[in-house]
Each structure stands twice: as structure tokens, then as C-alpha cells.
């Protein structure tokens, strides 16, 4: 019944645990195994915090004769739903249009690697003022549904290699990429899959942001003008992130 917090004021939200007692750890299971098999009363955690590596000394708490705990909630994976933006001729992809951030610290998550899976969209929650809508689907984590590997998570999106191109792309049609100076305010189209098929919907580019804008992944402001899309979704919903936008026949 006693409340113990051995990691309090030592470990902080957003820390990356990279080792324990000089032994490298790469996931939750390795960390738990090290704690379970500790031979010493104290442990030294190797932590990476804001690009700096530090060591923290603490005393685990015994919760039974065979189990000790550090009092840290550890997460080593994230998942979400988004849209692939482009695919190059050599099967490199870009998706999402923004980075994957930690839900507690809002910091960009550093990743070693990740997997891309096919998703079955089951429901659509329509957005309204003050409440963003969302596409909701089911992801079955098996080799059949795995489409490729995620190699980078950046503020501008996720990037990697697609392995099952035929499974995802019915027809490969090349599209020219616009230079930034070609993008202008005015009509454009967003390409996305809301129901059973991919469609183009009308949007309007309201503003193009300069290179020196504070937010690195904010490039333009768009307004959905397509009546069909507004009726279905209310605008842009979660899951549409990364949907390609085309203006004057070019990808922008």
C-alpha cells in the first residue's frame, strides 16, 4: 500500500532510455528483462535528453521477491492512419505531410525504423466547428498487409521504401512536380480516398507561406470548396494528412 516513485525528479517525459548499467537497450522488453535480472541494489540508466546523453542513478523498488520496478511508463511504438502523398519511380514514398509527434510531449518522435501497412477504412467521422473529424479504419499487423518500411520521421512527413507497389497502386501515372515559385493562390484539387475510390475534389489555395515562416511544415493555407467533400467530411479530417494537392496539372 506504500506509494513509491524511484524515478521521480530524475527521468522526464520525452527522455530516451538507451542503456542500463552500461548495457544497451533498444525496446521495452530488453529494459524489463534487465530490471528483472538486476544483481545490484542501484541501477544507472543511460538517457538521451535533448541530444545530450546523461546517466541517472536510482534504486528500484521490490514489488515481490522476484520483481523490481523503476516506476517509469515506457513506450517504444506508435501507430496512426494517413495518406501516401507521392511515389517515385524507384518506389520511394513520402506520406503524411507532417511528422509523428509524441502525444504527451508533442515532440517529434525519433525512430529507428517503422512499417507501412494497408488499412481498411470502415467509418468516417464528419468534422464540425471545434471538433476535427477522422477516417477510422482497421490495421491488421501481418506480413500480407505490410507494404513497406518507414525510414525517416521528419516535420515534413514520413519517408521510406514501398515494397508491394502492385498491391497499392492500380495504375502508375507520372505527374510533374511544380517548383515552389509556380504555386499561386487560386483553384486547385486535392486527391483522396473517402469512400471506395480515389477522387479529385476542388480546393482553393488562400495563401502561400514564405520560406522564412516559423513553422517548417506550413507551406500553404487551403480551403475546401468542393460541395461533395464538404458534405461527406466537413472539410479536412484526420487520416487525410498527406493527400496530394494538384494545381495546373502539377503536384504542389
Catalytic residues: 98, 226, 241
Do strands 16-20 and 43-49 pair parallel, antiparallel, or not at all (unpaired)?
antiparallel
Q: Give Cβ neighbours of residue 133 (< 8 Å, ≥ 6 apart).
A: 124, 125, 126, 127, 233, 234, 235, 237, 238
The conformation of residue 164, written as its DSSP 8-state character, comes to -
Contact 71, 10 (CB under 8 A): no
* Sequence-separated contacts (24+) of 76-81 with Cβ below 8 Å: 76/27, 76/28, 78/102, 78/109, 79/139, 81/119, 81/135, 81/136, 81/137, 81/139, 81/238, 81/239
The SS3 assignment for 199 reads strand
Q: Which residues pair with 51 in a beta bridge?
A: none
Cα 202 to Cα 191: distance, rounded to the nearest angstrom: 9
Q: Give Cβ neighbours of residue 211 (< 8 Å, ≥ 6 apart).
A: none
Amino acid at each position: 500500500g506504500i506509494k513509491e516513485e524511484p524515478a521521480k525528479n530524475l527521468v522526464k517525459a520525452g527522455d530516451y532510455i538507451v542503456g542500463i548499467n552500461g548495457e544497451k537497450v533498444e525496446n521495452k522488453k530488453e529494459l524489463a528483462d534487465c530490471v528483472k535480472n538486476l544483481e545490484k541494489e542501484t541501477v544507472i540508466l543511460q538517457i538521451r535528453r535533448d541530444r545530450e546523453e546523461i546517466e541517472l542513478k536510482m534504486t528500484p523498488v521490490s514489488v515481490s521477491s522476484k520483481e523490481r520496478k523503476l516506476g517509469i511508463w515506457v513506450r517504444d511504438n506508435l501507430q496512426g492512419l494517413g495518406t501516401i502523398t507521392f511515389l517515385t519511380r524507384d518506389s520511394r514514398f513520402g506520406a503524411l505531410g507532417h511528422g509523428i509527434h509524441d502525444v504527451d510531449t508533442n515532440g517529434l518522435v525519433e525512430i529507428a525504423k517503422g512499417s507501412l501497412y494497408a488499412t481498411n477504412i470502415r467509418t468516417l467521422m464528419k468534422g464540425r466547428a471545434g471538433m476535427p473529424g477522422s477516417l477510422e479504419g482497421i490495421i491488421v499487423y501481418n506480413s500480407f498487409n505490410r507494404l513497406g518500411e518507414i525510414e525517416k520521421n521528419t516535420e515534413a512527413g514520413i519517408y521510406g521504401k514501398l515494397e508491394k507497389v502492385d498491391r497499392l497502386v492500380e495504375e502508375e501515372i507520372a505527374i510533374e512536380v511544380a517548383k515552389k515559385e509556380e504555386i499561386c493562390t487560386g483553384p486547385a484539387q486535392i486527391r483522396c480516398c473517402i469512400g471506395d475510390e480515389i477522387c479529385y475534389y476542388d480546393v482553393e489555395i488562400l495563401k502561400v507561406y514564405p520560406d522564412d515562416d516559423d513553422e517548417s511544415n506550413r507551406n500553404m493555407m487551403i480551403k475546401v470548396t468542393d460541395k461533395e467533400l464538404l458534405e461527406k467530411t466537413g472539410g479536412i479530417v484526420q487520416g487525410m494528412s498527406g493527400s496530394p494537392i494538384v494545381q495546373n496539372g502539377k503536384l504542389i
